[in-house]
Amino acid sequence: MNKPVLTNHAVIRLRQRGMLETDLQLITQFGTSVGDAIFMRTKDIQKGIERLKRIIQRLERLKGRTLIMNGDTVITAYKSTRKHEKRIIRNTRKEGVHHAN
């Protein structure tokens, strides 16, 4: 979902109720939509936490993995050592190439 447009009334009510705009993102992403309303139920929170835990596990599994890219094309993928990562980063900085972070 795109970032919702907030009316002046909504901005005031969010502030009064201690809600941030980032809270809206979580509610729209994980809540239950019924008609024009989106409810954030205990069940939705539990499902969201489980989903995020799976993402964290996948991220941990990917530590040390490297993709070699040419534009949007993946050339190869491999597991690299920390020493190899440092060397590539150092050489890229010397060449003035910007790496993604």
Residue 13: predicted pLDDT:
96
Q: Based on the domain organization, do 44 and 75 belong to the same domain?
A: no
Are residue 14 and residue 52 in the same domain, yes or no? yes
In a domain, residue 3? The reply is no
For the beta carbon of residue 75, count every other beta carbon within 10 angstroms. Answer: 9
List, as own/partner pairs, every contact residues 79-86 make where C-beta atoms lie below 8 angstroms and the sequence separation is at least 24, other chains included: none
* Structural domain boundaries, residue 84: 65-95
Handedness of CA 100, 77, 65, 48 (dihedral sign): positive
Say if residue 15 is in the same domain as residue 56: yes
Query: How many structural domains compose the chain?
Result: 2
- Which amino acid is it at 81? T
pLDDT of residue 3: 80
pLDDT at 97: 60
User: Within a domain: residue 100?
Assistant: no
β-strand partners of 66: 78
- What is the pTM (predicted TM-score) of this model? 0.67
pLDDT tens across 65-82, in order?
999 999 999 999 999 988
CA 59 to chain centre: 11
Q: Give the pLDDT confidence of 9-64 residue by residue, as tens digits.
A: 999 999 999 999 899 999 999 999 999 999 999 999 999 999 999 999 999 999 99
Let me know whether 49 and 82 are in one domain: no
